[in-house]
Amino acid sequence: MSSVYYITLLLPTLIWNLHLCTAVDKTPLRYRPFRCRNGWSVSQTVRCDGFRNCVDGSDEENCTLPMWLEQPSPNVTVAVGALMNLTCIAGGSPPPIIEWKMNDKQPEANCDWTTEEGVGLLSCRIRLIDSGNYSCVARQPKASLESTVVTHVTVTGNVCKDGFFNEADKRKACIKCFCSGVSSLCHASELYRWNYTMAMNDWRMKYATLQNSGQFNQELGMKVYDKFTDVPRNTTPYYRLPFKFIEYQVDSYGGLLRYEVQIDSTSYQREDPDVILKGYNTTLLFKYKPQLLTGQLNKIAVLLHEANFRRLDGKKTSRDDLMTVLSYIDTFLIRMYPLGGVYSPASTPLVMDASTKLAYHGLGKMSRVEECRCPHGYRGTSCERCDFGYNRASRYLRSGICMPWEWHRAEYLKVSSSTTMRNYHYV
Ligand SMILES: *[C@@H]1O[C@H](CO)[C@@H](O)[C@H](O)[C@H]1NC(C)=O
Ligand SMILES: *[C@@H]1O[C@H](CO)[C@@H](O)[C@H](O)[C@H]1NC(C)=O
Ligand SMILES: *[C@@H]1O[C@H](CO)[C@@H](O)[C@H](O)[C@H]1NC(C)=O
Ligand SMILES: *[C@@H]1O[C@H](CO)[C@@H](O)[C@H](O)[C@H]1NC(C)=O
Ligand SMILES: *[C@@H]1O[C@H](CO)[C@@H](O)[C@H](O)[C@H]1NC(C)=O
Ligand SMILES: *[C@@H]1O[C@H](CO)[C@@H](O)[C@H](O)[C@H]1NC(C)=O
């Protein structure tokens, strides 16, 4: 039942996200006729497109290339929350359509634009992450012209210093932008708290044991079992959470992981961590400090914050460490406790906080989740994913960098003596 629940919630999220990421062309839709010399009319949109749409070909006459008549100033300073209007005007026949670019991409959903008779207006409700380079393009069917001026927009009004963002609804709290190390421009995302849940004994749950129980200082030696009945008796078993609790989890930062533990004896291996997260070769451990009570359900809530975790090497966890792991969790383990001397998967629920743009569930905001301005090749609130046409190359940064497929292809050809082209962009 729970699987159906989150799958049906996931689909609209995807569709909604696509919808939100697009700026809106607010130009009124109306048919603009061009009168041919013989008196007939064709659409203005076919003027000078290289085809004779009028019988006499007059729609291909007197074409002039676009040229700039007005461009915005090169420096614009705007306060957060204000409207920023930019104007580009181009002459030419037919009058060109004006398109806008922000850091060479289409502007995002906080912007609208109109283009009529060569006059292009861009209007954006400015957020912190909207500083950057704005430019316009004048487009005719067979020609386009980039603006010669690039407008550098500076956004003022960050209550934190550069590279930090203000935790939502907390004036004094500033958090460093993580942005996967590829950007330092971020703000608090507009995301609402929600959660997904699963029973601890769900059929998708797997199990694991640790090879170096009690002493953790190097690699995490782990053995995974598909069925609980395969787990050897004399070890401390862990739940190994399935898909949906692993992979991309940056939007759970600052949220809670909740589950319940029942024990009937206080004799258990104390040193073993309760929660283990691993991603990008970084392992973080959480230890539940209070004494577990016997004869009742112990409700365990793990705040996903660096202060609660310890690294495998014993050092303190930084926000970058935790965000790196949350960017791509490949291992998520929760410790089991024995009941009546034996271990068995519990039927109690596991609840993980996450965020959604979709709707308010009455659970408040995810105030510590960042949203970054990502460079080319990256997407995700923290630029934690590679964009379409890009794949991860494991160099420079802990989590690697996103490089276009052509780059991967070239790398593959460098090391490959054969000319067969198999999976070259996964090297
Ligand atoms: C092109 O320009 C000439 C000279 O200005 C004018 O006579 C002619 O009508 C124009 N043709 C069209 C299709 O506008
Ligand atoms: C725009 O700002 C840059 C530095 O921020 C400065 O060097 C440049 O002169 C400014 N240009 C104009 C036209 O104000
Ligand atoms: C920007 O344009 C909008 C309409 O598109 C207008 O209401 C607003 O007053 C303009 N703001 C400024 C600062 O020019
Ligand atoms: C904006 O343009 C300037 C040069 O004009 C460049 O140095 C800077 O990196 C650009 N910023 C972005 C975010 O692309
Ligand atoms: C999980 O979210 C639902 C609403 O989506 C809410 O009713 C429920 O209380 C939440 N559970 C927890 C433990 O926060
Ligand atoms: C993972 O990290 C450990 C310790 O920091 C290091 O020795 C090992 O080489 C790393 N492995 C990879 C694949 O990066």
Please indicate whether residue 222 or residue 425 has the higher confidence score (pLDDT): 222
Residues 6+ positions from 179 with CB-CB distance below 8 Å: 185, 186, 370, 372, 373, 374, 382, 383
pLDDT tens digits, 111-136: 999 999 999 999 999 999 999 999 99
Residue-averaged pLDDT of the chain: 85
Q: Strands, DSSP E only, in 341-406?
A: 349-356, 370-372, 378-379, 385-386, 390-393, 401-404
Please say if the pLDDT value at position 50 is more than 70: yes
> Which of ligand 3's atoms lies nearest the C-alpha of 112?
5
| Whole-number percent of the chain with pLDDT over 70 | 89
Q: Residue 80: CB within 6 Å of ligand 4?
A: no
**Closest ligand (CA of 363):** 5
Average pLDDT on 29-35 reads: 85
Please give the Cα distance from 309 to 384 (Å, whole number). 21
pLDDT tens digits, 208-220: 998 865 555 566 7
The rounded Å distance from CA 41 to ligand 1 centre is 15
Chain center to CA of 159: 24
Q: Residue 61: CB within 6 Å of ligand 1?
A: yes
Three-state DSSP state, 197: strand
Ligand 2 atom 5, closest CA? 75
Q: Residue 35: CB within 6 Å of ligand 1?
A: no
The dotted CATH code for 66-156 is 2.60.40.10
Please say if the pLDDT value at position 182 is more than 90: yes
- In 10 A of CB 364, how many CB atoms? 11
pLDDT tens digits, 264-310: 876 677 778 999 999 888 899 999 988 888 888 899 999 999 999 99
Q: Residue 299: CB within 6 Å of ligand 5?
A: no
Q: Choose the CATH number for 2-61 among 3.40.50.2300, 2.60.120.590, 2.30.30.90, 4.10.400.10.
A: 4.10.400.10
The rounded Å distance from CA 185 to ligand 4 centre is 13
Average pLDDT on 63-84 reads: 93
Average pLDDT on 163-170 reads: 84
The rounded Å distance from CA 103 to ligand 2 centre is 18
Please give the Cα distance from 196 to 242 (Å, whole number). 12
Please say if the pLDDT value at position 364 is more than 90: no
Q: Is the peptide bond before 12 cis (omega within 30 degrees of 0)?
A: no
Q: What is the pTM of this model?
A: 0.80
- DSSP code, position 108: -
The rounded Å distance from CA 124 to ligand 3 centre is 9
